[in-house]
Amino acid sequence: MKALSNMTNMANMINIEVNAEHRYTVSIGSDWREEIARITQKHSKIFIVAPQSLRDLLALDGTATHSIYYSPDGESQKSYETLVDIWNSLAAAQIGRKDAIIGIGGGATTDLAGFAAATWLRGIDWYAIPTTLAAMVDASVGGKTGINTPAGKNLVGAFHSPQSVSIDLSFLSTLSDRDFSAGLAEVIKTGIIADESILQLLESAEGVEGARAHSADLIAKSVAVKARVVSSDFKEGKLREILNFGHTFGHAIEKFNDYSLRHGEAVSIGIMYALFLSESLAQLPSTQTKRIAQLLEKYGLPTKVSVGTFEALFLLMQGDKKVRAEQLRFVGVSEVGKPVWFEGVERELAKTIYERILQ
């Protein structure tokens, strides 16, 4: 991938443009309170969705023009029940076509808030203020919104881009090392598919503390890649699928564990799966697989699966959105920065790869 031409650096703020169904800016280094004030000037009413766990930190009071909806924490908020509750609350707050929703939280919250915005009155404006590393580098950027259903993750959703994404780096200090590292899995994924300098930065950083010190740089590099990909393939015709590297197996792991693992932790295992598959199908040198395994482990991310889970994981992979004509499809790499697509991966090979990442 080429130099990051979609990025501008102004007075401690890095702005990255995304050109999807409309243009919008991802601002790294903004202040969330100032952002809400800015958004408030543009709309007569705003409806804020944030998870319960941020209630004390945000200390926001509802007013006649600002409604606050606190959603359940974690992945469970991406449910039909919560969505219906939000629709009812939007109706009660009389949110109209010119009003807007703001999603403040991790990826589950921005996915949910964005989907509420996509579906309310056939689509109203929304703004993302991500508070986790995973949401900053991935979920809040790109316009994928949605909820989970018993059949799988993100099977119900809409492409509905935010009006802006405002990244306030101060939220990162509220994250445990485990949550920060889970976000690093998406950063590492981005490095593998498109920007080796991300991997080099993380290889040279002194553990999680060291990586935290490079947060702005890591986020900027990751968002720049995502912005470039989304700007050329918003609706995931093909290129955008590279962002799902590690996610076919990762989503199956996540669902199999009933969302008890962090998304990034499941993706970390999925990355290992995709790398071993790439060794078999795209001659990825095994030294690269070892290199990435070391990097994931350096940041405390899991790289193995438990014995006896293949049948269930295979079934879950068959429910993945990327399956076409019942054939498993994966994204791999032939080398760092060179994505490749694997169509029709056979069950036997899928099982052999699974056996390579057993505990």
How many angstroms separate the CA atoms of 315 and 44, rounded? 48
Determine whether 17 is an active site residue. Answer: no
Backbone angles phi, psi at 142, to 5 degrees: 115, -10
Please report how close the Cβ of residue 34 comes to ligand GLY at its closest, in angstroms. Answer: 27
Catalytic residue among 45, 78, 212, 226: 226
Please report how close the Cβ of residue 258 comes to ligand GLY at its closest, in angstroms. Answer: 21
Region of 12 (left: φ > 0; alpha: ψ -120 to 50; beta: rest) is left
CB atoms within 10 A of CB 20: 19
Asked if residue 4 lies in contact with residue 217, where contact means CB atoms within 8 angstroms, the answer is: no
Determine whether 254 is an active site residue. Answer: no
Please report how close the Cβ of residue 141 comes to ligand GLY at its closest, in angstroms. Answer: 7
Query: Could you tell me which stretch among 75-83, 176-184, 237-245, 314-322 binds ligand GLY (CB under 6 A)?
Result: 237-245
Asked if residue 254 lies in contact with residue 263, where contact means CB atoms within 8 angstroms, the answer is: yes
Asked if residue 331 lies in contact with residue 340, where contact means CB atoms within 8 angstroms, the answer is: yes
Backbone angles phi, psi at 58, to 5 degrees: -75, -35
Of 194 and 243, nearer to ligand GLY (C-beta) is: 243
Candidate list 102, 185, 219, 243; residue touching ligand GLY; CB under 6 A: 243
Q: What percent helix, strand, coil does the chain show, rounded to 5? A: 50, 20, 25
Determine whether 148 is an active site residue. Answer: no
How many angstroms separate the CA atoms of 299 and 202, rounded? 9
Please report how close the Cβ of residue 359 comes to ligand GLY at its closest, in angstroms. Answer: 27
320 forms part of the interface with ligand GLY (CB under 6 A): no
Per-residue contact track with ligand GLY, 141 to 170, x per CB under 6 A? -x-x--------------------------
Determine whether 189 is an active site residue. Answer: no
Determine whether 38 is an active site residue. Answer: no
240 forms part of the interface with ligand GLY (CB under 6 A): yes
Determine whether 122 is an active site residue. Answer: yes
Asked if residue 112 lies in contact with residue 147, where contact means CB atoms within 8 angstroms, the answer is: yes
Catalytic positions, written as ranges = 122, 144, 186, 226, 236, 240, 244, 247, 251, 263
What is the contact surface with ligand GLY in residues (CB under 6 A)? 138, 142, 144, 240, 243-244
